[in-house]
Structure 1
Amino acid sequence: MSDITEETLNTILPLEILDKSIGKEIQVLMSNDKEFYGTLIGFDDFVNIVLENVKESDGSGSSDKVIKKMLLNGGQISMLVPKI
């Protein structure tokens, strides 16, 4: 019998959650209080992420402008909220 416990089997790593979120809507909160809402289409090990059909919000409400594709620097990301 192996040393794998049920708790080990239920462990999900952060990058696994991002991987499962590809193609889905995600909310990104930045360290400068801006928020972006869009579809996650890719990311790397540094959590630099690529979004498409992005709407930006700076706390005063969402803008009507939609950005077709956007690359966000992982070092400036405070929180990612996937809609799983």
Structure 2
Amino acid sequence: MASTILPLELVDRCIGSSIWVLMKNEREFVGTLMGFDDYVNMVLKDVKEYEVTAEGITETPLGQTLLNGNNIAMVRHTSAPSPYRSTGI
């Protein structure tokens, strides 16, 4: 029988690792997860925001950032930052 893992346990395993976060408004962030709470509000460091424009993909460094858990659509553990929506993968 496969063991069950809860969502917060999975996020907890990502602390100190690089993650990619897709927000409900389609904004994308890549950074190192420093911590989170029961509402999945997240603190990330070394954050970069990715935005798709007519000229291509824009990358904006943000430093340390707090993301509101109510607006997070998806989180992915990543060792190489490459948001799939921006790159078309």
Shorter chain as normaliser: what TM range? 0.7 to 0.9
The Cα offsets for residues 23-70 of structure 1, whole Å up to 9 and x where unpaired, read as 00000000111100000000000000000000101233141x322200
RMSD between superposed Cα atoms in Å? 1.4
SS state at 1:59 partner? strand
Matches within 5 A, 1:5-84: 6-7=1-2, 10-60=3-53, 61-63=57-59, 65-83=60-78
**Identical positions, percent:** 47
Q: List runs of 5+ in structure 1 lacking aligned partners.
A: 1-5
Residue 85 of structure 2 is matched in structure 1 by: none
TM-score (norm 2): 0.78
Partner Cα distance (1:11, 1:62) in 2: 39
Q: List runs of 5+ in structure 2 lacking aligned partners.
A: 80-89
Runs of 4+ that moved beyond 3 A = none
Residue 3 of structure 1 is matched in structure 2 by: none
User: Counterpart of 1:19 in structure 2: which amino acid?
Assistant: D
TM-score (norm 1): 0.83
